Copies of this chain bind each other. A is one copy, B any other.
Amino acid sequence: MLVNGLPAATVGALDRGLAYGDGVFRTLRVADGQPVWLEEHLARLAMDASRLGLPCDEAAWRADLAALTLPPQGVLRLTLTRGEGPRGYLPPHPVRPTRIAACWRDELPVAPESGIHARVCRLRLARQPALAGVKHLNRLENVLARAEWDDPAIQEGLLLDQEDRVISGVLSNVFIWRGGELLTPRLDACGVAGVTRARLLRLAPEAGFPVREADLGLDDVLAADEVMCCNSLIGLWRIARLEGRAWGAAVVSGALWNLLHA
């Protein structure tokens, strides 16, 4: 693990990342000792940071990654906070951000070939356009939602917002295939705009799958021909079972999986 480019296991206890969740992060898959989809993650990290008015030094991240010994297979987390500063909410000027690059060996989640089982979370996401789409450090909603179940047979929980729109999974974005169209929830009021979601939005049409962002309810998901969740670690998983509804063999999910891993 590197903190601001130096080997370290700790950060200042007054770091604003801890005091207020004042920062952003990305979670990347590591394969063959290399971070996967790095360019997209760095671009997204910088974009999210700018949403918080936080500078993101891309060259420093690249130097960190060059200095870090990544495992053959595993997980890499890049965290950027607003660092330390005087007590209080007012962001310090100048800001001295904290960069944390941490990796884990062999921590990739695995799913059965036959698809995963998912549930619908009781927690409803708050709608906050000022933070929508950003992978920031204020993730208590995800923590509370994930704490709703401990059945290891259930791999993901579906999150709806306060207005009962489907937004995402607890740790993934969601796509449905319905009527010859790929649909994914709009993320203008809540949710995290993942890199894998962006890839699918870009690649699916080129492969002949029309795709668009939409307002989706739970009924839309349950009525879909196929339901999938995706993130940078899992790639794409098809959902085989959700709240009593079961889906059989999946054609589009498989094609999209191939598309992502081409």
Instruction: Report if A241 contacts B (CB, 8 A).
Output: no
**CA–CA, A252 and B202, complex, Å:** 61
**CA–CA, A144 and B126, complex, Å:** 17
User: Count the A residues whose beta carbon is within 8 Å of the partner chain — how many?
Assistant: 60
* A117-154 residues at the B interface, CB under 8 angstroms: 123-128, 130-131, 136-147, 150
Instruction: Report if A12 contacts B (CB, 8 A).
Output: yes
Q: Which of B10, B20, B77, B145 contacts A140 (CB 8 A)?
A: B20
Q: Which of B21, B53, B75, B171 contacts A89 (CB 8 A)?
A: B171
**Oligomeric state, in number of copies?**
2
Q: Which of B11, B22, B130, B170 contacts A123 (CB 8 A)?
A: B130
Q: A19-B79, A100-B13 are in contact. Are A131 and B137 (CB under 8 A)?
A: no
Please name all residues of chain B whose beta carbon is closer than 8 Å to the beta carbon of A162 when the two chains form the complex. 127-128
Instruction: Report if A198 contacts B (CB, 8 A).
Output: no
Instruction: Report if A8 contacts B (CB, 8 A).
Output: yes
**CA–CA, A88 and B234, complex, Å:** 13
Please name all residues of chain B whose beta carbon is closer than 8 Å to the beta carbon of A10 when the two chains form the complex. 10-13
Please name all residues of chain B whose beta carbon is closer than 8 Å to the beta carbon of A13 when the two chains form the complex. 1, 3, 8-11, 100, 102
Please name all residues of chain B whose beta carbon is closer than 8 Å to the beta carbon of A126 when the two chains form the complex. 126-128, 131, 190
CB-based nearest B residue for A145: B89
